[in-house]
Amino acid sequence: MQDKWKPATKVIHAGHIKDSSGALVSPLCQSATFVFDSAEQGASRFAGDEAGYIYTRLGNPTTAELERKMAVLEGAEAATATASGMAAVSSALLANLSHGDHLVASKAVYGCTFSLVTSQLVKFGIRVTLVDFNDLNAVADAITSDTKVIFCETPVNPHLDVFDLDGIAEIAKQHGLISIVDNTFMTPLLQQPLSHGIDIVIHSATKYLNGHGDVIAGIICGSDEQIEKIKYETLKDLGGVLSPHDAWLILRGLKTLDVRLERHCDNAEVIAQYLLNHNRVTKVYYPGIKGHSGHQFIGQQMKRAGGVIAFELDASLEQSIKFINGLHLFAIAVSLGDAESLIQHPASMTHSPYSDEEREAAGIGASLLRISVGLESVEDLIVDLEQALSRI
């Protein structure tokens, strides 16, 4: 029945199991370990012969409810929660890559993901090739006999490029590869990569899923087999598991995800159009505008364009910084998906792990700015942007 519910119903009711006390809100199970009825029961659970909780690093009732809900929302068989979005990225990759394997990844990704695949994975003898996923021929050409995984974000941080999930999944299946997509910017309400043939979907649950800027978390969704492998062969040993309290906060935040996303998208569409028409803005990156390369995917792969916008100013670095510092309603912060509108400078902040040459190759210039449009009155946000732009 849950699969037939509308998204607004799923975010509230999916994955919930009625509590024996009758509590409307799911209780927080703030316990590190769980008591066995007998030594024999403990041995049986460790052996996997009996279902039940052992230790919160291996599973917890509160975290399990979040995982069930996210699996339903993404249309997955299963999900596992992690302590951060990067824990989700690293666990999903390390569960599927070994010494001597090869990874094909998008050349434009979140800065810490870039650092992970270019600096950390190579320490374990994993080769990485970065390509432009706008060119599916380049993706296919990068595959070797040692390739095991294809990884990308879409939309991409920070330019909001949108990649063809059907095409990526087809290439992966032709070569027997695991495809992994970071769906953070869209959430499962705006895009469901698994329905396009992708194998594993990850999220920084810190962002829209929680929506209140008070939790660091990640989510991995996929098949029962993949999640079992990631959770019990990799994540339990790396230790990047989510705390029950943070899982409980995300469960609370998810209840309003549907209505929050509507406001985020509505506001972003208006602001993108405003920036597009401003004489101090030279380029706007937002799939919701017709000139953006990702606009073709709206209504097909993506329901709407989301709440993140990047843009370039006709300004020097000093003027761009002056603009940022002159804003009142846009907090200078590097996250996204919060109730508050945020602004950041990718070249010196989220994408600082890139070298100057790598940033230039990725098109991350000194005047590129990224905003996460919040839930404030869009009229007030535009007034704030206007007064700050007028000062440069």
Q: Which entry of 101, 161, 164, 182 is annotated as an active-site residue?
A: 182
**Contact present, 305 and 265 (Cβ < 8 Å):** yes
Query: How many Å apart are CA 155 and CA 109, to the nearest integer?
Result: 10
Burial string for 102-119 (b: 16+ CB within 10 Å, else e) reads: bbbbbbbbbbbbbbbbbe
Tokens describing residue 319: 């003027």
40: left (phi over 0), alpha (psi -120 to 50) or beta: alpha
Per DSSP, the residues of 264-306 read: HHHHHHHHHHHHHT-TTEEEEE-TTSTTSGGGGGBTTTBSS--
User: How far is residue 93 from each of residues 59, 90, 235, measured CA to CA in Å?
Assistant: 21, 5, 11
Residue 110 is a catalytic residue: yes
Query: Tokens 């990308």 belong to which residue?
Result: 152
Q: CB count, 10 Å around CB of 290?
A: 9
Say whether 391 is catalytic.
no
Active site residue 123: no
SS3 154: coil
User: How far apart (Å, rounded) are the C-alpha atoms in residues 36 and 21?
Assistant: 21
- CB-based contacts of 137: which residues, under 8 Å, 6+ apart? none
Active site residue 229: no
What is the token pair recorded at 17? 């199991």
Catalytic residue among 10, 45, 69, 110: 110
Separation CA 296–CA 289 (nearest Å) = 10
Catalytic one of 57, 127, 255, 280: 57
In the chain, the N- to C-terminal Cα span, in Å, equals 56
Catalytic residue among 10, 69, 107, 207: 207
Known catalytic residues? 57, 110, 182, 207
